[in-house]
Amino acid sequence: MSTLLNRLQELVAGSTVPYLSFNRDVVDKVGKTTGLLVATYVITTRIYSAFFGPLSKYPGPFLAKFVNWGDGHYDSPAGTRFEKLIKLHKKYGHIVRIARKQISVSDKDMIQQILVKDDLPKAYNYEAYQLDGHPTMFDTTDKEFHKSRRRILSPAFSLRYIGSMEPLMRSTTTHLEVALSKSINEANAEGREYAEIDLWMMLQHYAIDIIGLAAFGTEFNMVTTGHHPLPEVITDRLKFTSFIGLHPKISKWIPKKQHPFLVTFMKDVIQNRIDSGEKRQDILDFLIGTLYTKSEDDRLQIEDIINEVVLFLIAGSETTSNTMGFLFMEMFKNPHVYEELRNEIDAIEMEEGQTVLNNSQVKSLPYLNAVIEETLRFHPANPGGAPRRTVSDITLVGNHFVPKNTTVIAMGMVAQTHPDYWEEADRFMPERWLDPVKAKEYAMAWFPFSAGSRNCIGKAFSLQEMRICVANLVKKFEFLPIESSMEDAKDRRQFVTLGIAKNTFKVRAVLRT
Ligand code: HEM
């Protein structure tokens, strides 16, 4: 009783010291206990998930069992994440646990299941690409949203429509030939037998000119003039986009706005198109059409249109030009392939008055198609795989259980070079595609354009462009490798699209007579 009285007297006298120290003790104890409980919970659940959880049976790097690190973890040096994943698959097999809640899969049937049969939605890291809160057809993770966008844009990729793109592909090919011939003639005038040209850059300019015309009827003239501010801004964006895509956690804190130059440029293009009332039936036309649609769900805002068009410029340029660059590299490494292709193309005569081979002359050339397919097998534009997420528990072919909320990467690049599915898998061998029965079988393990509802909408477009460009270049020019360029080009990097570290590939070019 007297102690209680003493305490009361202390408090009344304003001495709060004992009171506070009593509280601090309690707080300390509660804090420590809570901390201990949380730590115990985290450690126990991590240990459980690492060694006993449903993903524990899948092999992978030891630390990956515990940490849910982002894709950036494997991306050192920058742009080489795909090489790390390939190595992990070589070491651990078709299913690798690459992070606590992430697996990478290279079994062809499982990939078909993930992308086609189960059609799993895209993983949330795609959202890092979204600008100003306006998702595009490529980066949305919402299946319904995607369906509606794809429906709007599909007509721009119908075979008939792509056929109508042919004249612009042929005229851009003519520009490319003129630019190349000019360099060669200048070199000859200076007494050199050949011109040294940057084939990589020339092909990039070519693809940008084509997609600029196809997407919104704008002539960039990159092939002729060598520069235009819009593609240059887009190239910068691509590097930024690649970084944020790999580091989605950091990217949450970075404001993601469309580049002001792109906004102003595109707003002008859209406004001019609306004011002129011109109907070009290009991608922009289909997008502008949505501004007047009755259905509110289908009505896009200007920002949506800008982001979609920019997406097409990105998705439709380096993917295609870099594939053609790799194709020439492979032909330099395999001269018999170059010779075979040249023979096939030389057998086609130019028609009276014709200066450029057209699509109907080249679309069914077996060897040309085989060389393109084989190039895409070794150098797919997206070698880092397609990340998807499980929205419920699933069982992959062969009874491999994968729980809900797991990121599953469909690692097509590994499947399409795996000895389980390919004879002489490491050899660049276009001939393998010439036997229709075998080709059908191989196609089941070939994913350069992905598969399922999120496959590449531009596949037919890019194939047509590559056939026309490669056939005409092979027919009219002789390209010869430069050893140092070939050596440099071995360093491949993926910044959204697969490319080469130096972004330049010099070759010697001669006019064929
Ligand atoms: C060699 C050329 C090309 C290759 C190898 C290629 C490859 C791919 C791949 C693998 C995807 C899926 C990406 C993912 O799941 O993250 C994709 C999607 C896409 N591609 Fe391509 N692409 C090429 C050319 C083009 C062209 C020329 C265009 C446009 C004209 C284009 C437009 C798109 C779009 C819009 C998507 C997103 C589709 C969707 O989610 O519905 N691509 N492409």
Q: For atom 43 of ligand 1, which residue has the closest CA?
A: 456
Beta bridge partners of 419: none
Check if the beta carbon of residue 88 is closer than 8 Å to that of residue 61.
yes
pLDDT digits (tens, 9 = 90+) for 384-398: 999 999 999 999 999
How far apart CA 84 and CA 51 sit, in angstroms, is 23
> What is the average pLDDT across 68-88?
92
Tens of pLDDT along 330-360? 999 999 999 999 999 999 999 899 999 999 9
454 lines ligand 1 (CB under 6 A): yes
Q: What is the mean pLDDT of residues 426-439?
A: 98
Would you say the CB of residue 461 lies under 6 angstroms from ligand 1?
yes
Of 36 and 406, the one with more pLDDT: 406
216-239 pLDDT, tens digit per residue, is: 888 889 999 988 888 778 777 777
Average pLDDT over residues 139-162: 90
Token couple for 150: 């794809």
323 lines ligand 1 (CB under 6 A): yes
pLDDT, position 2: 47
**Which atom of ligand 1 is found nearest the CA of 312?**
29
What is the CA angle 339-472-181, rounded to 5? 100
Helix, strand or coil, per DSSP, at residue 311: helix
Nearest ligand 1 atom to the CA of 214 is 30
Q: Is there an atom of ligand 1 within 6 Å of 138 CB?
A: yes
Is the CB of 215 inside a 6 Å radius of any atom of ligand 1?
no
414-427 per-position pLDDT tens digit: 999 999 999 999 99
Q: Whose CA is nearest to atom 36 of ligand 1?
A: 456
Q: Dmax of the chain from CA atoms? A: 119
Whether 461 contacts 165, CB under 8 Å: yes
Q: Which of 331, 323, 333 is nearest to 373 (CA)?
A: 323
Q: Taking 80 as the threshold, does the pLDDT of residue 511 lie above it?
A: yes
pLDDT at residue 5 in the model:
45
Gap from CA of 498 to ligand 1 centroid (Å): 12
Cα 63 to ligand 1 centre (Å): 33
Q: Does the beta carbon of 449 sit less than 6 angstroms from any atom of ligand 1?
A: yes
Q: What is the DSSP letter of 74?
A: G
- For residue 465, CA distances in Å to 210, 339, 357, 407, 428 come to 9, 22, 12, 34, 22
Outline where 316-358 has alpha helix (H).
Answer: 318-333, 335-346
Q: For residue 321, what is the DSSP state?
A: H
Task: Give me the sign of the Cα torsion angle 156, 159, 160, 165.
Answer: positive
Alpha-carbon distance of 482 to 492, in angstroms, equals 17
Residue located nearest, by CA, to atom 15 of ligand 1 = 386
Is the beta carbon of 208 within 6 A of some atom in ligand 1?
A: no
Residue 455 Cα to ligand 1 middle (Å)? 7
Q: What is the mean pLDDT of residues 179-186?
A: 97
pLDDT on residue 8: 45
Ligand 1 lined by 385 (C-beta under 6 Å)? no
pLDDT tier, 243 (very low <50, low <70, confident <90, very high otherwise): confident
Of the two residues 437 and 6, the one the predictor is more confident about is 437
In this structure, are residues 204 and 317 in contact, taking their beta carbons and an 8 Å threshold? yes
> What percent of the chain stands above pLDDT 70?
96
Q: Is 317 in the pocket of ligand 1 (CB under 6 A)?
A: no
Does ligand 1 lie within 6 Å of residue 457's CB atom? yes
CA distances from 294 to 62, 151, 301, 498 (A): 55, 15, 14, 41
Whether the predicted pLDDT of 56 surpasses 90: yes
Q: Please state the atom number of ligand 1 nearest to the C-alpha of residue 122.
A: 15
Question: Per-residue pLDDT for 297 more than 60?
Answer: yes
- Report the atom number in ligand 1 closest to the C-alpha of 450: 10
**Within a 10 A sphere around the Cβ of 76, how many other Cβ atoms?**
10
Picking from 262, 277, 256, 196, the residue whose alpha carbon sits closest to that of residue 505 is 196
Strands 102-105 and 407-410: parallel
Interatomic CA distance for residues 314 and 5, integer angstroms: 79
Band (366; pLDDT cuts 50, 70, 90): very high
With tokens 């949506």, the residue in question is 304
Q: Is 462 in the pocket of ligand 1 (CB under 6 A)?
A: yes
pLDDT at 228: 84
ipTM given for this complex:
0.99
pLDDT of residue 300: 86
pLDDT value at 14 more than 70: no
Q: Determine the atom of ligand 1 nearest the C-alpha atom of 207.
A: 27
Q: Has 456 been labeled as part of a binding site? A: yes
How far CA 253 is from CA of 248, 378, 414, in Å, comes to 9, 36, 33
pLDDT score at 9: 52
Give 453: exposed, middle or buried? Use CB within 10 Å, 0-12, 13-18, 19+. Answer: middle
| pLDDT tens digits, one per residue of 259-277 | 888 889 888 888 888 888 8
- State whether the beta carbon of 126 lies less than 6 angstroms from ligand 1: no
- Does the beta carbon of 456 sit less than 6 angstroms from any atom of ligand 1? yes
Q: How confident is the model at residue 31 (pLDDT cuts 50, 70, 90)?
A: confident
How many C-alpha atoms does 177 have within 13 Å on its Cβ side?
21
What is the reported pTM?
0.91
- Averaged pLDDT, 58-74: 91
User: Rounded distance, CA 288 to CA 282, Å?
Assistant: 10
Signed CA dihedral, 222, 228, 231, 235: sign only: positive
Percentage helix, strand, coil, to 5, in the chain?
60, 10, 30
* Angle at 245 (CA atoms; ends 242, 250), nearest 5 degrees: 115
Find out whether 455 and 449 touch, Cβ atoms under 8 Å: yes
The closest residue, in CA terms, to atom 22 on ligand 1 is 456
Gap from CA of 359 to ligand 1 centroid (Å): 21
Please give the Cα distance from 217 to 313 (Å, whole number).
12
Nearest CA to ligand 1 atom 21: 456
Residue 156 predicted with pLDDT over 60: yes
Tell me, using a 6 A CB cutoff, whether residue 458 lines ligand 1. Answer: yes
Q: Which structure tokens are listed for 511? A: 């006019």
Q: Which residue has the tokens 């009171």?
A: 19
| Rounded distance between C-alpha atoms, residue 43 and residue 49, angstroms | 10
Q: Which of 41-45, 201-205, 244-248, 507-511 has the lowest mean pLDDT?
A: 244-248
Q: Which atom of ligand 1 is nearest to the CA of 386?
A: 15
The whole-number pLDDT of residue 7 equals 52
Pocket test for ligand 1, best of 145, 456, 461 (most atoms within 8 A of CB): 456
Among 319, 377, 470, residue to substitute to test ligand 1 (most atoms within 8 Å of Cβ) = 319
